[in-house]
Structure formats: C-alpha cells, structure tokens
Amino acid sequence: MSKLSQKHLLGIKDISREDIELIFETADNFKEVINRPIKKVPSLRDVTIANVFFENSTRTRLSFELAQKRLSADVINFSASNSSVKKGETLLDTVNNILAMKVDMIVMRHASPGAPHYLAKHINANIVNAGDGTHEHPTQALLDAFSIREKLGSLVGKKIAIIGDILHSRVALSNIFALQKLGAKVMVCGPPTLLPKFIKHLGVEVELDVQKALQWCDVANVLRIQLERQQIKYFPSLREYSLYYGITKKTLDNLKKQIVIMHPGPINRGVELSSDAADSEHSIILDQVENGVAVRMAVLYLLAGRTS
C-alpha cells in the first residue's frame, strides 16, 4: 500500500489504521529529510496548494506552509479577514475562485463543523482539514500519536489521558479516534461541565479527578481552556480551574512513575500547565511541533499521489 484509501483527509474517523501507519512510515522518512543541512525535496514541485484559513492560526498554518515549502510545492495563503468573504461571498464561491487559478489542493480551517466535508462534495481538488470548529483536527491527532510512538514505541496497550476542555476541543475527538485505531486505551478528564454528555459512547474512560487520571496514564495530553468558544461560564474562574485541574512539576514529581506530558498549543501557562511542568523533562511539547512538519509533509505527499 503506497496510497491513502481516501482522496481527502477530512477526519481521523474516515481513515483506516493502515492509512495512519502509512502516514507514519512516510513521516519517518520526511523527519530524516528536515534534519539534513538541505531540508528540501522536489516531491511536489508541480503542485499548487492553497492554505484557506477562516480562523486564526499560528502553529498549524506555519507548520503546513513549511511542510509545503519543504516539498517544493507552490503555496498561496488566504485569510478570510482580508478577503471578499467580508463582502458576503460564500465559502463555495471563494474556494471555486481559488481553484480557477489552477490550484491542486486545499488546506482549510473553518469555524463551522463539517465545512470541509461540504466542500469535498462540490470540488475535485484534494482537501486537508486543518480544523473544523469543535469537530476534528486530524493532522494534530496524527502528529500527537506519531510523537507518542516515537517516545514509547507501539501504542498498543498504552494509556493516554486527555485532560481539560474536552467539550470544545476538536483535538480531543480526533485524538480519541486515532489512539483507539492504534490500540491505545483512552481516558478523558476534566470538570463535568467540560465533558460532552455522551462521551462514554466513544468507548473512553471518564475521570473527574486529575490526580487519579495522572496515576492511571502513561501519557497526559493536556488541553487549554477554549474561552473563545464558550458562550457561558463553565466554571467559576481560571484560578479555581488551575487549583483543581492545573498540572505542576510538583504534581508530576509526586507521581509514583514517570509519565509523558503533551500539549497541542497554545499553552495557557499557569492555568492548565505551569511553566516548570511544560518545560520539564516530562514534556515532549516541542517534539510535537517538530513532528508536525514531518507528518504534514507525509499527508500532503500521499494525497498528491492519489489522482483518482
């Protein structure tokens, strides 16, 4: 198998374990490439990719753009805040105008869940979902799982706790799908108000006590509180959240075992993670950032190779 089973990467739910393993094997090769003195390969030299972002982004957008340039693709960047979207243009019209300029692939972030799935029904170009509302963020889940694999080996039987704002997180859902497909056991932990009502139906364990979650897990993937998506107050204050759910270096040192700390970024230091925990020997947060480029190179390369 040298191609993905899907024309698009819309979500982890849509792809197979074999697809994930192929992406990882390809990313292993690209990680070696980006650590060479000359970090560029001509793999996508004749491919034009548009980064179409309707929401703010730093890490994801830079990571995708760097991945594209490392593969020698032609790159165009679109920002909704400076576009005709402000004049009332629809999503489909915006993308069709971009495609009319002979663009081969779209990397899209949008505030509405399902936006890339809607586009996939109406256009022929490959689509990579860079985050759709609170739904999925597939490349983040892939780079998270890749980073765990790099640190601990096979994910089969590993215990991963996802801690924080599960309700508003697209990272949580994609991680749950990816980790389960790779044989890991998943627990979610957070205040009851930040846990989706039917989360148990996804086959995960639920824990309200962060200390118990940390004692249980091999890896803790800590999520930030997404205040920008919250229309009402889900807890009294950030100070109280930090008191009950914040993880410090002292918390980690008091555990009876060594665990790995991850975070998809951006970190709210002093809220979900203290600085000494985020920068400790437990943390692989910067490894996640590095691996993100290699994993996104793999996704783009494999999708570009699929012509039908």
Q: Which two tokens stand for residue 14?
A: 């849509």
CATH assignment, 12-136+291-304: 3.40.50.1370
264 Cβ neighbours under 8 A, 6+ residues apart: 137, 140, 144, 171, 221, 223, 288
185 and 235 in contact (C-beta within 8 Å)?
Answer: no
151 residue type, one letter? K
Lowest-pLDDT choice from 211-220, 222-231, 243-252: 222-231
137 Cβ neighbours under 8 A, 6+ residues apart: 60, 129, 130, 131, 170, 171, 174, 264
The pTM for the full model equals 0.94
109 labelled ligand-binding: yes
87 labelled ligand-binding: yes
137 labelled ligand-binding: yes
Q: Where are the domains of the chain?
A: 12-136+291-304, 138-288
pLDDT tens-digit profile of 253-302? 999 899 999 999 999 999 999 999 999 999 999 999 999 999 999 999 99
Q: CA-based diameter of the chain, in Å?
A: 59
- Among all residues, which ones are annotated catalytic? 59-60, 87, 109, 137
pLDDT tens-digit profile of 227-254? 555 555 667 688 898 999 999 999 999 9
Measured distance CA(292)–CA(140) in Å, rounded:
7
Measured distance CA(74)–CA(47) in Å, rounded:
6
266 labelled ligand-binding: yes
138-288 belongs to which CATH class? alpha beta
Q: Establish whether domains 12-136+291-304 and 138-288 are of one fold.
A: yes
- Name the band, by pLDDT with cuts 50, 70 and 90, for residue 307: very low
